[in-house]
A and B are shown apart, each in its own frame.
Chain A
Amino acid sequence: MTNRLLNAENLRAAYRTPDGKQVFAVDDISVYINEGEVLGVAGESGSGKSTLGAILSLTTRPPLYVESGTLEIDGKRQELGERSKIPRTWRGSVVSLLPQGAMNSISPTQRVRDLVFDVMRAHDRSIKRDEALDRARDRLKSLDLPVRVLDSYPHQLSGGMKQRTVTIISTLLNPRLLIADEPTSALDVSSQKALIDMLLQMLEQKIMSGVVFITHDLPVLRTVSDRIAIMYAGKIVEVGDAEEITERPRHPYAAALLSAVLVPEPRYREMRVFGIPGSPPNLLNPPSGCRFHPRCGVSYPECETEAPPHVGDELRFSKCFWAKKHPGESVPLKAVTSDRLEEADPIGHDPRPAESEQHDDMDGPAPAGRAEGREVSTGGVSA
């Protein structure tokens, strides 16, 4: 039996609004990861996936507060909550976060080697510069990357190279678990592939023992993950093997979401794809029972009143009444998707809070095309 790398149970975290309310971006989530596994976490805007990443990597900051939960990595257990004290050494060496947009927040006036030294020194005051750089050099070599990267300034590196560099730097301390938040969104397709290959290579070399890969891009997850978790409105609605989930999703939302993904495959030229009616709920006051029920075309009366049942085991499950009543069946897509734009994102009668009010991080499609789209506003050409 493979060892459990991560047991994270009953995680609950909320954003506290200035007027004292709590918005639970992650509401009672349990996540399990085995040694050597890549867990993909997918979700759209407001799903809470970035918040989950922050919790797991112990990097939550006000106004986000972890209210409760336990984190067990490699047998070391840690209670989470307002009063808990996280051992300083955990962050970076037990679990490390590769934040969204990391490659763009490197100081442009520093060479990469200075950044490496700063990062290592922040964790270990006594480390010498040579030691730190040697380590970085060895790491680069083992991953077939040019050592000259260390002497470069960020602007001299391409987007893909920058992201790989930042990935390496965030794993220099050999964390047991790496949380990567949208690492591929701003990259072009070839750089994405290079980064994914590198991550898998790192796993093989046991630089880290597990990866949580957070993104909205399902085809990327299919390529890189062993298992995929689909999040919706602060909850995990389905987890399963990458292939299982992609081909045979059991939760209506997961099924609808997957059916809406467009990939360059022949069948997509023949068919008409539909979207999901409704819009993600306001987490200030989430729907009762199953959070997806207002948008679900196969819901039952109990979906509105009771929490949906857990169908499956710890590592592979879906939380759905329909799934429970129809084991092994495919979700009827016609019932859960809609072709009508007015249903897709209806105007409510109260003005929606702009997404950023609910959470600091950028859940949802990080502007994948942003780098491309911003080519020539002022007459320059972007790299």
Chain B
Amino acid sequence: MSDDVLVATGVSKTFGHGKNAVEAVKDVSFALAENEVVTVVGESGSGKSTLARMVLGLMPITSGTLTFRGNDVSKMNARGRTEYWKDVQAVFQDPFSAFNQFFTVRRLLARSSRLLDDKVGAERLEEALGHVGFPNPADVLDRFPHELSGGQRQRVMIARALMMRPKLLVADEATSMLDASLRVNVLNVLTDLRKELGMTVLFITHDIGQACYVADRVLVMENGVMVEQGRAEDVIFNPQHEYTRRLLADVPKLHESMNDDSPSRAAASPVPAAPAGASPAGAHVEF
């Protein structure tokens, strides 16, 4: 539908040639609507990170199309990418390796500031740092990454992404290296912000618990193929595909209350206005 933020159609990625060819992503199609949190769940080798990098324009697509707000972004030149990255941003998994160790926070964020004009840049910087729990930017701006904890670094990386007020935020295992006590707060912030900033979040993770907590819709990947996608409640509590079923059965539970009469299986789940996409509202599709 026309108000989708991102539409992927038959996206594939193959590495190498001939006998050595490896298909990391095979014919994946999905759509992301506005203000939606969509989680791509998969284990190692599922291709979810490759998919994320293609969506971000960091890696060329072998075949298929990617459309962002109506524009074809499957093949972008340098200028196209620069424009794209004003609306699409990312947070990666490792706050240590993603952060140039020779930069202070100020220098890291200055790059993004420069893309906006001066006054706006300064405002956005303060606003973004405020969103991630640094109400007083002076506290953190002149620090080097080794002077910050892992969680603080990751929050700065999120602020960096938020400065552009992106329409689409790709979070690639962004919380996997955080302590449980911090992880939850970060997830809360990301999901709160989507309404405030009109942002769609594509959340990549191997952790179904996190997917359950934040996602409106879930996309399950196995070996490069999207095996199932649909509303979170449907995919997580009533999986159709054999892989998803096995995945959920193997996930260790904390409170063994997997009874049928547990709440929220009813229709009253807070899903935003029918997510437009490959699946008709209410049902989910198995690939």
Contact = CB atoms under 8 A, between A and B. Distances in A.
Contacts of A247: 255
A182 to B, nearest CB: 13
B151 A373 contact: no
A165 B180 CA distance: 29
Given A352-B147, A381-B22, A274 B264 contact: no
A270 B264 contact: yes
B56 interface: no
A356 to B, nearest CB: 10
B246 interface: yes
How many of chain B's residues touch chain A, expressed as a range? 35 or more
A132 B246 CA distance: 37
A258 B209 CA distance: 13
B155 A341 contact: yes
A264 B44 contact: no
Given A264-B208, A275-B184, A342-B133, A375 B47 contact: yes
Interface string A340-383: 11111101000110110000000011011111111110011111
Nearest to B246: A190
A276 interface: yes
B148 to A, nearest CB: 7
B258 A265 contact: yes
Most B CB atoms within 10 A — which of A45, A256, A370, A376? Answer: A376
Contacts of B112: none
Interface string A245-270: 01100000000111011111111111
Contacts of A159: 44
Given A222-B252, A367-B176, A372-B44, A273 B134 contact: no
A266 B263 CA distance: 7
Given A190-B250, A274-B185, A262 B205 contact: no
A239 interface: no
B50 interface: yes
Interface stretch (B28-36, B72-80, B81-89, B229-237): B229-237
Interface string B231-275: 011001100000000111011111101100011110001000000
Contacts of A190: 43, 246-247, 250
Contacts of B43: 188-190, 372
A369 B180 contact: no
A269 B233 contact: yes
Contacts of B189: 341
A189 B248 CA distance: 9
How many of chain A's residues touch chain B, expressed as a range? 35 or more
A218 interface: yes
B149 A355 contact: yes
Contacts of B150: 45, 355
B201 to A, nearest CB: 16
B114 interface: no
A256 B210 contact: no
Contact of B212 (A189, A223, A269): A269
A241 B240 CA distance: 35
B185 A383 contact: no
Contacts of A192: 250, 252
Contacts of B257: 265
Contact of B255 (A246, A279, A342, A373): A246
Contacts of A268: 209, 212-213
Question: A-B pairs with the 3 shortest C-beta distances?
Answer: A341-B133, A369-B176, A342-B133
Interface of B: 15, 22, 24, 42-50, 53, 59, 92-94, 132-135, 139-140, 143, 146-152, 155, 172-173, 176-189, 205-213, 232-233, 236-237, 246-248, 250-255, 257-258, 262-265, 269
